[in-house]
């Protein structure tokens, strides 16, 4: 189990009680701990706006973080002061904001997607197929539960995605046989786990764990991509079967790219970029793509229209008329 200070443990317990996702808890704790260490381990209650401004400027001027990273740090500290310290930060904080330009998305062609999928390890083929076929983020994919797959309506339900938002996305029909086979494998794991007296069931949000105490050992709630080994819960020490770790998916994609000989900088997120771009290429409405991706602001989705419109598909170079 990870060793945290009593203060950070209190924050973690507070967030779990209010059903924050484990990833959000981990992210917030990381920035809160960083903030505290930056100020020589002073207690947050003895600090305020000035110290937060100083820390946020440090992230930009010394660490050169991206705007989104700085915004995440600010959100973490805003949470800390609003809910834990109970002294809200000023709405007019004065600090240098990151102007680092976001990276333009790398997009694969449809043929490149085929090549990548061909070179993927069998264990990761389905999860990569879902990321490209449904536009999932890697964490959304690894955290899927069996019941999130709706075979009747050919869709996938995403719970507590980025920004704690829920959404429904399309399901590629070609993946249905593989998904049914995957669920059979999950069921086999579950049968073995239940025979283990130490097994505490799959992790569930606190409120649901109390409301449905036996659901953690039901097939519906098991992770769709379970780890091959049982492990101790980092917070409670209970024996559970976790899901694939996102870094394993990244390594699998990296290995497939290397084996294929492709030279593009491809990561799991490239599959999501490609999903959006190929949807737009096929004539999908941008609002539909926005909904599928779970973007709050359509400006975020429009980056994919720029990829199409600013290239040779949308703007013909004058050189093309003379050669």
Annotated catalytic residues are 137, 162, 269, 272, 295, 304
Of 164, 102, 280, the closest CA to residue 290 belongs to 280
How many CB atoms within 10 Å of residue 221? 21
Q: Rounded to whole angstroms, how far apart are CA atoms 100 and 114?
A: 33
Q: Rounded to whole angstroms, how far apart are CA atoms 293 and 291?
A: 5
DSSP code for 158: E
Token pair 């930060």 is found at: 89
Sign, CA dihedral 161-167-168-169, equals: negative
Rg of the chain, C-alpha, whole Å: 22
Token pair 């443990």 is found at: 9
Is 272 within 8 Å of 303 (Cβ atoms)? no
DSSP code for 157: E
Any residues with CB less than 8 A from the CB of 76 and at least 6 apart, and which?
A: 27, 28, 30, 31, 32, 35
Separation of first and last alpha carbons in the chain: 65
* Ramachandran region, residue 120 (left: φ > 0; alpha: ψ -120 to 50; beta: rest): beta
């Amino acid at each position: 189990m990870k060793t945290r200070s009593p203060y950070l443990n209190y924050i973690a317990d507070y967030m779990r009680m209010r059903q924050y996702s484990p990833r959000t808890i981990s992210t917030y704790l990381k920035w809160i701990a960083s903030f505290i260490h930056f100020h020589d381990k002073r207690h947050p209650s003895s600090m305020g706006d000035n110290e937060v401004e100083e820390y946020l400027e440090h992230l930009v001027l010394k660490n050169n973080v991206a705007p989104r990273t700085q915004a995440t740090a600010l959100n973490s500290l805003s949470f800390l002061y609003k809910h834990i310290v109970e002294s809200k930060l000023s709405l007019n904080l004065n600090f240098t904001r990151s102007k680092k330009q976001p990276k333009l998305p790398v997009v694969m062609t449809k043929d490149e997607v085929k090549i990548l999928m061909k070179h993927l390890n069998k264990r990761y083929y389905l999860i990569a197929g879902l990321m490209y076929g449904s536009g999932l983020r890697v964490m959304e994919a690894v955290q899927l539960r069996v019941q999130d797959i709706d075979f009747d309506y050919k869709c996938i339900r995403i719970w507590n995605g980025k920004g704690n938002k829920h959404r429904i996305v399309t399901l590629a029909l070609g993946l249905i046989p593989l998904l049914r086979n995957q669920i059979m494998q999950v069921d086999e794991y579950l049968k073995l786990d239940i025979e283990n007296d130490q097994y505490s069931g799959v992790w569930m949000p606190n409120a649901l764990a109390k409301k449905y105490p036996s659901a953690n050992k039901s097939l519906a709630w098991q992770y769709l991509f379970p780890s091959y080994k049982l492990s101790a819960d980092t917070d409670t020490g209970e024996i559970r079967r976790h899901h694939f770790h996102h870094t394993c998916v990244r390594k699998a994609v990296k290995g497939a790219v290397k084996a294929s000989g492709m030279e593009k900088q491809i990561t799991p997120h490239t599959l999501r970029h490609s999903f959006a771009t190929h949807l737009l290429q096929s004539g999908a409405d941008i609002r539909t793509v926005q909904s599928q991706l779970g973007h709050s602001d359509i400006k975020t989705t429009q980056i994919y229209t720029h990829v199409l419109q600013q290239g040779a598909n949308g703007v013909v170079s004058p050189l093309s008329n003379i050669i």
